[in-house]
Amino acid sequence: MKRLFFIILAVLLAGCLPSTENDPNVTSSLPEKKEKRLPKKFNKQSQPPEALKLTSVLYELAAASDPENFAKEHNIFLSKERVRVYISFNPGSSISKREKVLENYNIVVEKKAGNLSRALVPINRLIPLSKESVIWSIKLPDRLIKPRK
């Protein structure tokens, strides 16, 4: 019974304490929000415009003056100036429109299932391909991470 009395008393006292919300002399014990910053290797110019549906690394690869060296530095698979990517298509687009885009951009499809295709795309065609309305996104395949020993 005493325990309940002290709990109720504590709640009542806490409600009666003056608020320090607008008091300039009282500092908050909460940490201030820090501004989100991009990693050092990326800056605003190296990120693709929103209209493009490429990941930032693919955009950098396409914009690089030496794509082969960039691919080697970032462990990106290249085959005859083509990069292996996953292309997500707009689910509302017709198969004929998808095939026409793949043909127009000289893309070699390795596998496809539903709205997703794994393909080899010429590096110099990545940016124009990403502007097509039938494309939702273009990204690199995920890499396996070696387990720690």
Residue with tokens 């893309």: 107
Note the pLDDT of residue 22.
59
pTM for this model (two decimals): 0.62
- Does residue 7 sit within a domain? no
Q: What is the CATH number of the domain that holds 58?
A: 3.30.70.80
Per-residue pLDDT for 65 more than 80?
A: yes
Domain presence at residue 147: no
Higher pLDDT, 117 or 52: 117
| Confidence band of 4 (pLDDT split at 50, 70, 90) | confident
Q: How far apart are CA 76 and CA 122, in angstroms?
A: 13
SS3 assignment, position 61: helix
Is 69 a domain residue?
yes
pLDDT 10s digits, 11-40: 666 666 665 555 555 555 555 555 545 444
Domain of residue 99: give its range.
Answer: 48-139
pLDDT at 3: 75
> Is 18 contained in some domain?
no
86's CB contacts (< 8 A; 6+ apart) are 116, 117, 118, 119, 138, 139, 140, 141
Domains in the chain, number = 1
The region of weakest confidence among 13-22, 37-46, 78-87 is: 37-46
